A = this chain, B = another copy of it.
């Protein structure tokens, strides 16, 4: 499998979508698919699909198409789905509870091993089959369990202090729902920001365009 560090972020962002569609094909018992058929299902062009998959060495054969199982596994491997990175979640309000319950971390390469909140009324409660710990315990927990990823479902104001602790304990990746700009202060960590409001504004843009 060729890996190319110059692969554009756009292509990378499409990989999870390929992975989802291939999963559905597998579930429906489809073992082989042409780039044309896959393109139709994904509303892409066949040439874009061939181009995207060529970035990773290309998997298909002219006139034969792609083997669904193989392509699924390869893309899963590229995305790191075949390993489980230890993960903790900070902030178990509505958002953190939704993320903890709604997201299947294990099938996305992460193993959620701890939940933390600074609200004493939540500490000791259970979410996603785990007991909520106090944020005071984070440092000791991290030194012991060595999580490498943290999900931040905390307010922006609370984030800088906690991120400092986490980075100090060796956390390398953040799935960041807070609006704190982590990369500004820690340019070497890996951050995936989730700005749900941006998605909503994009929808607004398209609805406004439609009216005009």
Which A residues are closer than 8 A to B by beta carbons? 3, 5, 10, 12-13, 15-17, 19-20, 43, 78-81, 83, 85, 93-95, 97-99, 101-105, 108-110, 148-149, 172-173, 175, 179, 183, 190, 192, 194-210, 212
A101 proximity list for chain B (CB < 8 A)? 94
Known: A19-B201, A43-B183. A208 touches B102 (CB 8 A): no
Known: A204-B85, A204-B108, A205-B79. A198 touches B17 (CB 8 A): yes
CA distance A212 to B80 in the complex (A): 11
A103 proximity list for chain B (CB < 8 A)? 196-197, 200
Residue contact A197 to B148, C-beta cutoff 8 Å = no
Q: Report A10 CB to chain B, min CB distance, Å.
A: 8
A201 proximity list for chain B (CB < 8 A)? 15-16, 19, 79, 81, 108-109
Residue contact A207 to B85, C-beta cutoff 8 Å = yes
Interface of A is mostly: helix
CA distance A81 to B204 in the complex (A): 8
A202 proximity list for chain B (CB < 8 A)? 12-13, 15-16, 192
Besides the contacts A105-B200, A149-B203, what 9 more A-B pairs have beta carbons closer than 8 Å?
A: A10-B10, A15-B201, A20-B179, A81-B204, A95-B102, A98-B99, A103-B197, A175-B199, A175-B203
Query: How many copies are assembled?
Result: 2
A94 proximity list for chain B (CB < 8 A)? 94, 97-98, 101-102
Residue contact A207 to B172, C-beta cutoff 8 Å = yes
Known: A109-B201, A192-B199, A194-B199. A148 touches B15 (CB 8 A): no
A207 proximity list for chain B (CB < 8 A)? 80, 85, 148-149, 172-173, 190
Please name the residue on chain B nearest to A99 by beta carbon. B196
Residue contact B109 to A195, C-beta cutoff 8 Å = no
Please name the residue on chain B nearest to A196 by beta carbon. B103
CA distance A78 to B212 in the complex (A): 11
A17 proximity list for chain B (CB < 8 A)? 195, 198
A173 proximity list for chain B (CB < 8 A)? 203, 206-207
